[in-house]
Amino acid sequence: MDDIDILLSMVENPTRRRILESLVREPSYPLRLSKELGVSQQAVMKNLALMEQNGLVVSSRVDSSMGPMRIVYTPNTEFTLVVEMHRSMFSAKVIGLGGSVEDAPDGMTEEEASRRIAEIDSRIEELDRERAALVSERNAIVESVTGPGREEQGTDGNIKQMTIEREV
């Protein structure tokens, strides 16, 4: 089996194609891919290992502020697969790109870009948790002050007006 046969056999699987499509948009790690694609994490890991073994993706370890290091996967940018299909002709070829990704912002290498994206994702997750805690605290305060059902909510779920009644 030559390189083209291997590449075509890799992308014939719909799950692997969906994983590649996601990784082309942004580097990711298995758990996130599993949730995004609705596929078990074990299936994602199995397909990523197979794609890495055959050169379609590359993995790197990045620090995580929320636990152990994460393995982040990116598509291998060392080559491009071109498939041409016409009525009486089919051809496929691999075009080597060579080198590292040069079009990353500020001259970042692919590894630096992956690391920075992982840092940003980690910070976003942290902000999401912080926001959820603040919304919960806010709702508890509003309920303790007004009692249930005493506030008027806007279309965005935020309280527009509170009516506070006290006995004198």
In a domain, 106, yes or no: yes
In a domain, 46, yes or no: yes
Cβ partners under 8 Å of residue 31, min gap 6: 41
CA angle 95, 72, 21 (to 5 degrees): 50
Instruction: Encode 37-85 in three state secondary structure.
Output: HCCCHHHHHHHHHHHHHCCCEEEEEECCCCCCCEEEEEECCCEEEEEEE
In a domain, 132, yes or no: no
Domain count, the chain: 1
Condensed to tens digits (0 to 9), the pLDDT of residues 111-162 reads 777 788 888 888 888 888 888 888 888 888 888 887 665 555 555 555 555 5
CATH number of the domain that residue 101 is part of: 1.10.10.10
In a domain, 147, yes or no: no
In a domain, 156, yes or no: no
In a domain, 114, yes or no: yes
Model confidence pTM above 0.75: no
> Domain range for residue 82?
3-126
Q: List, in sequence order, every residue forming a beta bridge with 82; answer none if it has no partner.
A: 93
In a domain, 131, yes or no: no
Quick one: DSSP state of residue 109? -
Condensed to tens digits (0 to 9), the pLDDT of residues 25-46 reads 899 999 999 999 999 999 999 9
In a domain, 84, yes or no: yes
